[in-house]
Chain A
Amino acid sequence: MVDDLYQETILDHSKRPRNHHSMQDANREAEGYNPLCGDKLKLYLKVEGDIVKDVSFVGSGCAISTASASLMTESLKGKSREEALKLLDKFHDLLTTDAAVTKDLGKLVVFCGVRDYPARVKCATLAWHTLRTALESAGVPEPVSTE
């Protein structure tokens, strides 16, 4: 049933997203946009050396995209750039492959149900696509689109 998708953790983070604010002293920013549903988010990162010291986001979207952004911000703090990108790949596998390894994903495994809802995969990955852009370029690039 639909509860597989909307697990308690997802509902909690969609109603009370963590790190949901802008960041004055961010040194990386990126914007994500899903034209299909109008979801928009802006991601702020404070990267020192190679380490993500702080991360936050603003924006509006569906429960899946909001919870995904919120849980992503929680799981990134203290990670190196390489670790963050590796986590991104693992998260993507979780959503798109049957044989995904859930090890190291921590709380992010709550998104495993999304796999059965192909129309919603883009909702869950919007924040992560935006993260890649933020990590791979300095400054404020063009908005990322899921289309």
Chain B
Amino acid sequence: MSTLTSSIAAGFDVEKIREDFPVLKQTVHGQPLVYLDSAATAQKPTVVVEAIRKFHEVDCANIHRGVHELSQRSTAAYEEARSKVKTFLNSASETELIFVRGTTEGINLVSSSWGRKNVKAGDEIIISAMEHHSNIVPWQMLCEEKNAKLRVIPMNDRGELILEEYEKLLNPRTRMVAVAHVSNALGTINPVRLIGEMAHAAGALMLVDGAQAAPHAKVDVQALDADFYTMSGHKVVGPTGIGILYGKAKLLNDMPPYQGGGDMILTVTFEKTTYNDLPYKFEAGTPNIAGGIGLGAALDYVNHIGIDKIAAYEHALLEYGTEALMQIPGLRLIGTAREKAAVLSFVIEGIHPHDIGTVLDRQGIAVRTGHHCAQPVMDWFHVPATTRASLAFYNTAAEIDALAAGLHRVKEIFS
């Protein structure tokens, strides 16, 4: 029974959407590909591939320099992409949006630039128990360098942050609270607006790791009152190697450059360099122009479908998938938060995730197995690893049925 009962799903033409993703029309090991690893990277629609191709075939030139036609076209396309991000994240201005390689670089930019200037010995940084390594390690490095202290908001058995404990961690020494909007390993949607309010009340800033949130729900950085918000293009059906760091202008203006080089300067002499204005102050060197343009096309595509429709459809898929997996004896879902994105992380008693992943792969089903770059999460749940099926709006109920059937095959082999 591969139907979604939800009325939202009924109005969502997933088969038509799948036509936009050529990669999905293939067989793997003789079986139709069932791609359930979108939290690692999302597949790319033709319009994104075409936008990148057009840049290379028609408009290719370096940006922000050169008076020639191609350079002007490239610059316009790149800056237009920034403007699309402004609408997508609802930032107040394009100058608050810095192109980076991805979420990881966004966090590193803040920890390096803001952190070095503002964090002192004895200060405290708060992260959460469900962070991706990329939102742990940069802060750890900063704390080590500054002799500051890293504090961790604990979570409950469902994989939800315990806000009462968070409140106790906040104090006048807290400088920054850095949390994921959505957990990549558990799917938990964190109440970042409230987390930010509490941080601000304590005099701290908030950075949100939006890598897993931006593809699946409307993000409004002003409504969240986030001081920094960072995301990756490739999770939002865009290319790899491009992402966005949003920062409030007054904070970004006050921060020293992250890297030195071309584009981030106004004037250079051997005695002194004057830095460029925002956002270019943080964009040293020739950027990933094709990536930025690809990201712009990806956001157009997502907007065309409608992020709210995507969120509703994925929620229906998640409910369907949760129900299907719960029918499998010995299967335990890791991450059962009440507010959850379309991630199904699980373990099966007596069967190692790597074996599950291999057997599923041979049936054409792509899932992620391992610690999902969140080893502390695995430790908390006392599992070495999990199998994770992560869903996107191009997935279908029939694919979830294929996953369930695949897991029954896994159980046959290892029982």
Q: A interface vs B, CB < 8 Å?
A: 1-2, 5-6, 11, 14-15, 36-40, 60-64, 117, 119-120, 123
Contact = CB atoms under 8 A, between A and B. Distances in A.
B355 interface: yes
Interface in B325-382: 351-355, 358-359, 362, 369-371, 378
Nearest to B350: A15
Prevailing SS type, chain A contact patch: mixed
Nearest to A3: B413
A89 B414 CA distance: 29
Contacts of A63: 351-352, 355, 414
B184 to A, nearest CB: 17
23 contacts: A2-B362, A2-B413, A6-B355, A11-B413, A11-B414, A14-B414, A36-B370, A37-B352, A37-B354, A37-B370, A37-B384, A37-B385, A38-B370, A38-B371, A38-B384, A39-B384, A40-B384, A62-B353, A62-B354, A63-B352, A64-B355, A117-B358, A123-B354
Contacts of A5: 358
A63 B378 CA distance: 20
Nearest to B357: A119
A2 to B, nearest CB: 4
Given A1-B362, A2-B362, A62 B413 contact: no
Given A2-B359, A62-B355, A64-B355, A37 B414 contact: no
A6 B352 contact: no
| Residue picked from A2, A60, A63, A117, most chain B C-beta under 10 Å | A2
Given A11-B414, A37-B353, A60-B384, A120 B358 contact: yes
Nearest to B379: A38
A6 B413 contact: yes
Contacts of A123: 354
Interface residues of B, number: 16
A54 B378 CA distance: 34
Nearest to B369: A37
Given A36-B370, A38-B384, A38-B385, A61 B352 contact: yes
B51 to A, nearest CB: 32
Contacts of B353: 37, 62
A61 B414 CA distance: 14
A40 B385 CA distance: 12
A89 B109 CA distance: 46
A64 B357 CA distance: 13
A55 B354 CA distance: 26
Contacts of A62: 352-355
Interface string B263-301: 000000000000000000000000000000000000000
B7 to A, nearest CB: 39
B305 to A, nearest CB: 33
B356 to A, nearest CB: 9
A40 B378 CA distance: 14
Interface in B181-217: none
A45 B260 CA distance: 55
A120 B378 CA distance: 21
Given A37-B354, A38-B378, A120-B358, 6 more contacts: A15-B414, A37-B353, A37-B369, A37-B384, A62-B355, A120-B354
A62 B352 CA distance: 5
A14 B414 CA distance: 9
A5 B353 CA distance: 16
Contacts of B358: 2, 5, 117, 119-120
Nearest to A40: B384
A110 to B, nearest CB: 15
A120 B359 CA distance: 12
A11 B371 CA distance: 24
Contacts of A1: 362
B382 to A, nearest CB: 11
Contacts of B371: 37-38
A1 B351 CA distance: 19
